[in-house]
Structures are given as C-alpha cells and as structure tokens.
Amino acid sequence: MSKTSPVAAHLPPLAPETLAALDRLPVAELPQGSVLFRPGDPVQGFVIVLSGRVEVFLTGPSGREILLYAVEPGQSCVQSTLGLLGDETYSGEAVTRRACRLVMIPRALFLRLMESDAAFRSFVFRAFAERMQTMMHLLEKVAFQRVECRLAQALLDGATDGTLRATHAEIATTIGSAREVVSRRLDALARRGIVALDRGAVRLLDMDTLRILAESSAS
C-alpha cells in the first residue's frame, strides 16, 4: 500500500488489507453541478470525498428545498450510510457544489469491511454520529431561530473577502426558508446599510450588526 494513497489520507489507520482493497478502487472526477443521486435511487456504495464539496438537499411537496448538509474531504454522507445499513433508498438529492474527486466503496465491500475491520467500522459510526449531530443543530435552528438570525449567520459563514456569491434561492436553501422571504429580508438589510445587493452576490457592509443579529436566538 503506497503511503501517498489518496484514500488513506482521509481515513484513520486501517488494516493493511483494508487499505489495499480501498486503494484499488477507481477515483472519479466530477465537475461542478454533477448529480450523485436523487430521491428514490438505490444506494450503490459509500462515498469518500477526496477533494471538493458535495451538498445534499431535501425537497418538500411544494418544491422548496433545504440544505441538509455538505460533504467535504474526511466527512460522510448520512443518507448513504443509512441506505447501506438499512437497505433504504435515497430521500434527498446530492449535487457537487465544487468539482470533486471521490471514491465509491461498493456495497458488498463496504459491508465486508464493516464486519472485518473494527477501525473502519469505528470510522463509519463516528462520522455518522457527527453528521447526525450537525443535522440536529440544523433542525434546532430551523425550528427555533428567526429567519433574520439564520440569514445573518449564513452571510457571515459563506462570505469570502466580505462578499457572499450566491443567489437568493441558494441562500434560502441553505437556511431552510423560501426565496421570497430571503429576498424581503435582504432588501430590509440593504435599506439599513448592512448589506449591498449585487447580481448573484451580497456584499457585507456592517459585520458587527450581522454578528449581533446572528447571535439573537429569540423566536
């Protein structure tokens, strides 16, 4: 097993035979915007993201979307884990937010490694627990935090050099709201001089006020 294995770099120390099996798997390169799975698709395997970012969405009957979580190098997809262990189909949709390099562990190999390698099993369950904790935090925010709080935090988290490059619809998906609601809130922030709205971008003008809004959890 090569020490420079791209798969081994994103996993804890595993048995040599496990690493050898993983190192033989092909590395897929996907451009931005590629769909990995959709609701109702059977789970084919366990994905290890080597580079890039995958976002997993849930779409309601009205067509409104919410971003459940993102998968970056070293993280796991809880829907894949559930599907492999519980023989369930996907309920969400996964799309590459950035160009990705990834490896898919086929179902049969995944289940065999879960039985034979305690370190691999521990990695899967630990990653699963961390992802579930993240989703619980999301549920708490959507249920109990005002839209303004979630919007302010999303602006602060997503901005690079003071600018968040995203459409109102993309921001709405991130915070679990509707595009129309986000547009109204952004317009209100713009009138107060807290942000400036450009096409496909939001410039943050008053970081201190945004932080105050983000820390306000009153419903």
Residue 153 located in a structural domain: yes
Look at residues 105, 106, 80, 76 and name the one whose alpha carbon lies nearest to residue 91: 80
**129-149: burial string, b at 16+ Cβ within 10 Å, e else:** eebeeeeeebeebeeebebbb
For residues 81 and 164, state if they share a domain: no
Residue 144 located in a structural domain: yes
Last residue of a domain, one of 52, 83, 116: 116
Domain count across the chain: 2
Residue 68 located in a structural domain: yes
For residues 111 and 163, state if they share a domain: no
pLDDT beneath 50, residues of the chain: 1-2, 218-219
Dist CA 102 CA 81 (whole Å): 16
Q: Mind listing the pLDDT tens digit for each residue in 21-57?
A: 998 999 999 999 999 999 999 999 999 999 999 999 8
Residue 121 located in a structural domain: no
For residues 163 and 79, state if they share a domain: no
pLDDT at 217: 57
For residues 111 and 145, state if they share a domain: no
For residues 111 and 178, state if they share a domain: no
For residues 167 and 100, state if they share a domain: no
pLDDT at 13: 86
Last residue of a domain, one of 65, 86, 116: 116
CATH number of the domain where residue 157 is located: 1.10.10.10
Residue type present at position 71:
V
For residues 23 and 112, state if they share a domain: yes
For residues 110 and 183, state if they share a domain: no
pLDDT at 219: 43
Last residue of a domain, one of 83, 116, 149: 116
- What is the extent of the structural domain holding 56? 8-116
